Amino acid sequence: MIPPGPRLPSAVQTAWFIRDAPGMLTRLRRKYGPIFTVRFTGLPPEVYVTTGELAEQVFRTDHGGGRAGEARREFLAHMVGEHSVLTLDGDPWWRHRKLLNPPLRAKQVAGYRDDIAAIAAERIATWPLGRPFALRDRMQDITLEIIIRLIFGIHDAGRVSRLRALLPELIETGGSPLIPMLPERFRRIPFGPYPRFVRVSAEVDAILFDEIRRRRAAPGGTDVLGRLLDTELGDHEIRDELITMLLAGHETTATGLAWAFERLLRMPEILDRLPDDEAYLDAVVKEVLRVRPVVYEAPRMLDAPLRLGEYEIPAGWYAGPFIPLVHHDPAAFPEPDEFRPERFLDGPQSRAWMPFGGGRRFCVGAQLALLEMRVIIREVLHRLELTAPDQAPEARRLKNVTLAPANLTRVTARARTPARTP
């Protein structure tokens, strides 16, 4: 038996999802229970699960028939190439993943703390004072700079500024939903997004391959590129993983930071306790990612049927948690509507907390993302007093695989006088 789901035409389900995914899935959960099927136009049916326990059962397929890579390939392969942990599966994926894990472990990334703080401070100093602006875009400047300097290991001012211009364009043109939808032969239509994407991508590659060549001639360095050059990976494989970390790592973290301020500016009693108690700050970041998970799902493409309770999900379908609902499961998070960082201070962390997915495909950059969030929040709060011009909470808007604040977290900044000393 397959899990129940709405009988609406797939085009209607798709449009509903795009307009209001959390609202739609909350309704479906109420109607059908913790597991249900949604049908999107042009894709295999997707079974969503909404409890931590069911999610773990799906993640267990990472040891066999769950192909997270295939679920992403159609949308990402033209950007990340053929050698990316995002899109590989099976043994080739594991080979890459084993090499990518060590430079991104908590202990390794802890060494980036001062660099992250310096990059953040440099950028925060350029923010406008006294008039509202979109915080998310400013956060993205910071997280992009972190990728360029600490992951790509590029410091030359000319190259850094070239990449600052090129990388957002690469993502914008390559991320166009038209690209995966267009058959290969139509992609080359002049003036479409694809030819521009190809041009930008070639320029980015020229910089990255040149950097790889130069660094091979002078080995060492504590950035992620330096560490990958120490492995058996070839130049193309390294290029693909650098773009992978850019794609997976900078918009997500910027959106996480935007949500952190969107929430905190509406909770003065929590804000007052920040940022100097490191354990509390860590708990606040985790609670923000619980109530506003950035990535809303972590699907697996099944290559064997999967039994979940009384249901059997056929091979060829997608199955995965809808993370905002798992994070709202009162069995895992009592009074889930309450913002309560203490959940992460007292006792062991619930396994239903999954802003970074789970199983073997768990986000490789989770420790870096958490560190960035803590350090950047701290730098902002030491320097500026932020307020939200409108106290109404910002709605969640779908942006690719993320849920972002609808107004990109509008804030007004004032210099903190006297500045707190970090």
Annotated binding site: 363
By CB under 6 A, residue 283 contacts ligand HEM:
no
Q: Tell the smallest beta-carbon distance from residue 300 to ligand HEM (Å).
A: 8
Supply the Cα-derived Rg of the chain in whole angstroms: 21
Q: Which amino acid is at 161?
A: S
What six digits make up the tokens of 89? 């599966």
To which H or E segment does residue 414 belong?
Answer: strand 410-415
| Binder among 99, 200, 245, 265 for ligand HEM (CB under 6 A) | 245
| Binder among 21, 38, 68, 229 for ligand HEM (CB under 6 A) | 68
Please list every residue from 113 through 142 that binds ligand HEM, using CB under 6 A: none
By CB under 6 A, residue 248 contacts ligand HEM:
yes
358 Ramachandran zone, left/alpha/beta (phi>0; psi -120 to 50): beta
By CB under 6 A, residue 324 contacts ligand HEM:
no
By CB under 6 A, residue 81 contacts ligand HEM:
no
Residue 44 and residue 316 in contact, taking contact as beta carbons nearer than 8 Å: yes
Question: At which residue do the structure tokens 């929430």 appear?
Answer: 263
Residue 399 and residue 388 in contact, taking contact as beta carbons nearer than 8 Å: no
Q: Which stretch binds ligand HEM (CB under 6 A): 21-29, 38-46, 240-248, 331-339?
A: 240-248
Distances in whole angstroms, Cα of residue 280 to Cα of each of 337, 344, 366? 19, 9, 18
Q: Which stretch binds ligand HEM (CB under 6 A): 155-163, 179-187, 228-236, 349-357?
A: 349-357
Count of other CB atoms within 10 angstroms of residue 396: 21
By CB under 6 A, residue 97 contacts ligand HEM:
yes
Residue 387 phi, psi dihedral angles, 5° rounding: -135, 155
Whole-angstrom distance, CA of residue 31 vs CA of residue 26: 9
Give the strands of the sheet with 384-387, arranged side by side.
133-134, 410-415, 384-387
Nearer to ligand HEM, 86 or 99 (CB): 86
Nearer to ligand HEM, 62 or 211 (CB): 62
Nearer to ligand HEM, 349 or 387 (CB): 349
- Of how many residues is the chain composed? 422
Nearer to ligand HEM, 94 or 186 (CB): 94
Residue 142 and residue 120 in contact, taking contact as beta carbons nearer than 8 Å: yes
Q: Which stretch binds ligand HEM (CB under 6 A): 4-12, 50-58, 260-268, 355-363?
A: 355-363
By CB under 6 A, residue 95 contacts ligand HEM:
no
Please list every residue from 368 through 387 that binds ligand HEM, using CB under 6 A: 368-369
| Binder among 22, 66, 175, 359 for ligand HEM (CB under 6 A) | 359
By CB under 6 A, residue 256 contacts ligand HEM:
yes
Nearer to ligand HEM, 51 or 252 (CB): 252
Binding residue ranges for heme = 363
Q: Which stretch binds ligand HEM (CB under 6 A): 11-19, 74-82, 359-367, 406-414?
A: 359-367
| Residue ranges binding ligand HEM (CB under 6 A) | 68, 85-86, 97, 244-245, 248-249, 252-253, 256, 294-295, 298, 355-359, 361-365, 368-369
